[in-house]
Chain A
């Protein structure tokens, strides 16, 4: 069974540009959530999608957005990139939101974004 696939794995962008990251969940999983990890802030929740609907959003500015397609694949977009957006962006998939109550969440390897 294929795991969670995130593309690209590494990305370098210039301040002010926008970026789109992709996450393909495990087959059959309908919940996809996104996280930002930085050395200073650790892991932070960005948003969660279930069956193409955004269920929840973390405390991030509107420059961060996402969507989920009918095949459960998800994309997140960051517009007007800032230096502070440099981070590892992780997505996780599960059968149900938060993995609860069915099963735990499965994480992708992440996309490492560097903004210069």
Chain B
């Protein structure tokens, strides 16, 4: 049983498309993190959410605490957005990670 489930596992989009990645979790959280990992391994923290919605450029993250669900949206996708996106639930004691969504944006 995975504490954090992500969907889809793989996603291919045309440049300019609107993209949504979903994350459901079963643990009680202090915060929900969205991470981006490019080939080569480097991880960048995109958002940390404990409620509501955050926006940074073309990226939007939302969380519904009651439904234990978060979404990451990318508007006007670009090939440089191609990466693995990982959802991580922080319980206050440790992190539980989703298996990641591999996104490929085709020019």
Q: How large is the interface on A (under 10, 10 to 19, 20 to 34, 35 or more residues)?
A: 20 to 34
CB of B85 within 8 Å of the partner chain: no
Known A43-B97, A104-B33, A109-B41: A99·B90 in contact at CB below 8 Å:
yes
* A68 → B minimal CB distance (Å): 16
* A63 → B minimal CB distance (Å): 19
**Residue of B43, B45, B46 with most chain A CB atoms under a 10 A cut-off:** B43
Residues on B with C-beta less than 8 A from A109 are: 41-42
- Decide: B90 and A100 in contact? CB cutoff 8 A: yes
Query: How does the 8 Å CB contact mask read for A11-46 relative to B, with 1 for contact and 0 for none?
Result: 000000000000000000000010101000011110
CB of A101 within 8 Å of the partner chain: yes
- Near B by CB (< 8 A), chain A positions 54-107 give 55-58, 88, 90, 92, 97-101, 103-107
Tell me the A residues contacting B by CB distance below 8 Å.
33, 35, 37, 42-45, 48, 55-58, 88, 90, 92, 97-101, 103-107, 109-110, 112
Residue of B nearest to A103 (CB): B48
Known A103-B48, A105-B33: A44·B97 in contact at CB below 8 Å:
yes
Known A98-B90, A99-B31, A100-B31: A42·B97 in contact at CB below 8 Å:
yes
Q: A57-B94, A107-B35 are in contact. List 10 more A-B contacts (CB 8 A).
A: A42-B86, A42-B98, A45-B96, A90-B43, A92-B43, A100-B30, A104-B47, A107-B43, A109-B42, A110-B42
* A97 → B minimal CB distance (Å): 8
User: What are 24 A-B residue pairs whose CB atoms fall within 8 Å in the complex?
Assistant: A33-B95, A42-B86, A42-B98, A42-B99, A45-B97, A55-B93, A56-B94, A88-B41, A90-B43, A92-B43, A98-B30, A98-B92, A99-B33, A99-B45, A99-B90, A100-B90, A101-B30, A104-B48, A105-B48, A106-B45, A107-B42, A107-B43, A107-B44, A110-B43
